[in-house]
Amino acid sequence: MHWWLPLKASTFAGPIDGLFIAILIITGIAFVVVEAGLIWFIVRYRRRPGRKAFYTHGNARAEVIWTAIPAVTMVALGVISNHYWVQIKGRNSIPPNAYPIAIHAKQFEWQITYPGPDGRLGTADDFTVRNQLHVPVGQPVVVHLSSEDVIHSFYVPQLRVRQDVVPGMDIKAWFQATVPGDYELACSQLCGMGHYKMRARVTVHTQADFDAWMKQAAQAGTGGTGS
């Protein structure tokens, strides 16, 4: 059993996991200060006969300090986070050479349409596959997300990518895989009775393997409806 975040398999994983660790350090310090402080007070100031408590209504300087430090920390965190947020989700952040794949979510499967040998979606050589996402390593990929019915969510933990798929909206999400391997795509927004099994296999290929798979799959025109 894994006790930490999943394998880092995309270019987002570095910044996202780095943010996690930064926050872990900040919250860890706060946690220790508060909990150790509480335990210390519980022991040191427990009632003793004949003792009286120290009569005070507060301390303005303390208030300023313990307001300023959290405030400054939060603002700094916000600035750092926003930098990566824009990089990942900004509309203008999708790399122009990103390889397009159309993913149409429906209860309870993923219909994945590849652009075929010409590399463009919406042309005659597109083909659709059910519940199998194949991407090349080291190449930005942009998924065009659409939904047939209710809200679903496109989620591959190792790639650190998640985007809700909303009926009536065409949403693009991009990522770049860094480690070849077999992963899983899970639906991450309750979409009905079959939500728990709305799963797809994700295969990150080396470029060569990906080209080979593409050639073979395009010829076979495997399964599902057209795009």
- Binders of another protein among 166-205, rule CB under 8 A? 166-169, 171, 183-184, 186-197, 199
**Least distance in angstroms from the C-beta of 221 to another protein:** 28
Tell me the CA distances in angstroms from 219 to 110, 117, 124, one per residue in order: 21, 10, 13
**Least distance in angstroms from the C-beta of 97 to another protein:** 21
Contacts with another protein, 5-44, as mask; x by CB under 8 A: xx-----x--xx--xx--x--xx--xx--xx-xx--xx--
Taking CB under 8 A as the criterion, which residues in 44-63 touch another protein? 45-48, 51-59, 62-63
Taking CB under 8 A as the criterion, which residues in 87-106 touch another protein? 88-91
Residue 161: name the closest of 147, 181, 141 by CA: 141
**Least distance in angstroms from the C-beta of 125 to another protein:** 29
**Least distance in angstroms from the C-beta of 176 to another protein:** 15
3 state SS of 107: coil
Residue 160: name the closest of 3, 4, 8, 1 by CA: 8
Q: Is 74 in the site for another protein (CB under 8 A)?
A: yes
**Least distance in angstroms from the C-beta of 165 to another protein:** 8
Q: CB count, 10 Å around CB of 141?
A: 23
Selected binder of another protein within 160, 174, 205, 210 (CB under 8 A): 160
Helix (H) or strand (E) holding 222: none
Taking CB under 8 A as the criterion, which residues in 115-144 touch another protein? none
Residue 180: name the closest of 214, 139, 226, 151 by CA: 139
Using alpha carbons only, give the angle 98, 101, 104 rounded to the nearest 5 degrees. 145
